[in-house]
Chains A and B, each alone.
Chain A
Amino acid sequence: MNKESKIHDYSAKSEVGFVRTRRTRLQRILLELRKAPPTAIIGLFIIIFYIILALFAGQIAPYGEAEIFPIPYAPWGGDHIFGTDQIGRDVYTRLIYGARNTVGIAIITTILAFVIGGFFGLLAAILGSWTDQILSRLVDVMMAIPSLIFALMLLSIFGTNAINLIIILAVLESTRVFRLTRAVGMNVVVMDYVEVARLRGEKIGWVIRKEILPNILPPLVAEFGLRFCFTFLAIAALSFLGVGIQPPSADWGSMVRENAGLINFAHYDIKAGLTPLLPAAAIAILTVAVNFVVDWFLQKTSGIRDEK
């Protein structure tokens, strides 16, 4: 092949076209992951592990969620890896089912909180004036009461069951989401491209979906992680106090309380003393993992670091 024909073969399109091929979404995600700090990777693995546990609890767990065995407070080992609880249910099985119940309810609550808080936050940011004033003052009053105390009070009135728990916590958490959505929404609503879209005669729903939401999404996603942690800890605390998720559903918070008595036997059998700490550790590890990932995500999207 001589030099002439090589030049002839050259086409700008083939070269540039190759370079400009967009990486697929999967490729981009994998590329980001390779650059992620080790803490974020560990966090992601832990979260995926919990999700698998939650989804396949029925297949992984050796026994049924509320199956009762003849020996209560059985020691570790043998048929029961982590022994049995106060009425003879397998602790290992209930730990696995706890991932489904506790984490599941926390996720549903957080999503509901974001739907409520996000909707009203955007409404306040777009409509402004009176709508904004009324909603904001209402949220101010709700936030003046510590949320755990408020939740306890509302639970005593509406009664303690899982659905009330989800609704009450979602409404209380949505006040925080409202504040954030309104604040970031305010900055975007005044942008020229939003005004152009509205002048063009687009419907309000279209403007929100196509122009505003994509621009306020990163802070909201990070907030979702943080809110999930708060909700998760709140549900665990309420269940621990005996007013959250009710038996016989396996739940980490109430498992800690039910087995707390075992801690006094740690002197004779250290493993028995550790039993009540297992569900508590399960809660703590997931919270740490989510925090790690959120931290990384915040650094990625905003460039803001803890330091400086």
Chain B
Amino acid sequence: MHPIIITVLQRLALGILTLFLVSLVIFLSLDFLPGDFGEALLGQSAREDTVAAFRKELGLDRPIMIRYFDWVGGVLTGDLGSSFSGRNASGIDRSRTVVDLVAPRLSNTLFLALTAAVIAVPLSLFLGITTALYRGSFYDRAINVTTLTTISFPEFFVGYILILILATLYPVFPSLANIEEGSPFLDRLYKIALPAMTLTLVIVAHMMRMTRAAIINLLASPYIEMARLKGASASEVILRHALPNAWAPIATVIAFNLAYLVVGVVVVEVVFVYPGIGQLMVDSVTVRDVPVVQACALIFAATYIILNLIADIIGIITNPRILHPR
């Protein structure tokens, strides 16, 4: 077998193992629920048998391994159980299934994150590469100072500054991104302009600085100097010598920041009251709706792990040293 296939398979196996362990951690967290949880959730007036029935429904009376495999089986077949909210002391169950709650919001979040990524990735790669090539120039220093400041700002600060300027003082965009199902694409884009802009600003700063550092690091390596000394033209150095080795660091930078985007989206959704999965998670944490929180955490963690996995695999299959084994 080609060594590259073996390396990729090893990395895939490691990724699956990580996913398995992370799902285990998220699942086991339910077991740390304080003992009086049923009462806290169902209210003071809950009868003992209602609490017992609730605990039984959660399966807290069954062995842990069986519960875990039930849960994983459910996750794989799209059944994440039902939400805690909507239950009460009388034992009447008006709760909705977790999938019903999560599914429509997941597509909203993906839409927002993708829009931000589509703007941020090319922009930051362009800025990162040009500042690396013209480093020390006024252009480089100006961009550096700007991004260093943006990095230190919390996401909600950036968001509210944008609202203040672009929604209140000069009403160009709406400050609430309350999109509805079935609204036309352009209308949706217009509504999410400010949240997408906030995410872009935060991500571009990080991604651009990391790209710049990666490129500078690369251009300092001996074989680039060798190529220059050999008399290769600037474009030849960049395209033939630098680029083949640059894919891995660039892929890592993009994946790292898209993973960061996943986290940033939580705060930004709350700022702009955007009906996404991040806001759902925060609301569920406030009311301690554990099944919904677990589902959201699993989705976020899986996205994070898979993005990093993809970056690693891109790094492996574009690595000239593995591509052309001796």
Contact = CB atoms under 8 A, between A and B. Distances in A.
Interface of A: 140-142, 144-150, 152-160, 229, 233, 236-237, 240-243, 253, 256-257, 260, 263-264, 266-267, 270, 273-274, 276-277, 280-281, 283-284, 287-288, 291, 306-308
A144 B305 contact: yes
Interface of chain A, main secondary structure: helix
Given A241-B267, A263-B168, A308 B297 contact: no
A142 to B, nearest CB: 8
A136 B34 CA distance: 29
A266 B170 CA distance: 10
Given A145-B22, A240-B156, A307-B135, A157 B32 contact: yes
A281 to B, nearest CB: 7
B156 A156 contact: no
B24 to A, nearest CB: 8
Interface in B276-322: 281-282, 284-286, 288-290, 293-294, 296-297, 300-301, 304-305
Contacts of A156: 284-285, 288-290, 293
B168 A242 contact: no
Contacts of A155: 285
A140 B18 contact: yes
Nearest to A237: B267
Contacts of B284: 156
Contacts of B300: 145-146, 149
A153 B154 CA distance: 21
Contacts of A284: 152-154, 157
A130 B294 CA distance: 31
A238 to B, nearest CB: 9
B169 interface: yes
Interface stretch (B101-109, B115-123, B158-166, B193-201): B158-166
Identify the 7 closest CB pairs spanning chains A and B, nearest first: A280-B157, A287-B152, A156-B285, A266-B168, A288-B152, A153-B297, A149-B300
A149 B305 CA distance: 13
Contacts of A253: 154
A283 B155 CA distance: 11
Given A152-B281, A158-B32, A264-B168, A144 B262 contact: no
A203 B21 CA distance: 37
A257 B282 CA distance: 14
B259 interface: yes
A24 B56 CA distance: 69
Of A146, A156, A242, A260, the most chain B CB neighbours within 10 A belong to A156
A229 B34 CA distance: 32
Contacts of A140: 18
Contacts of A256: 156-157, 160
B107 to A, nearest CB: 19
A144 B304 contact: yes
Contact of B160 (A144, A157, A280): A280
A277 B25 contact: no
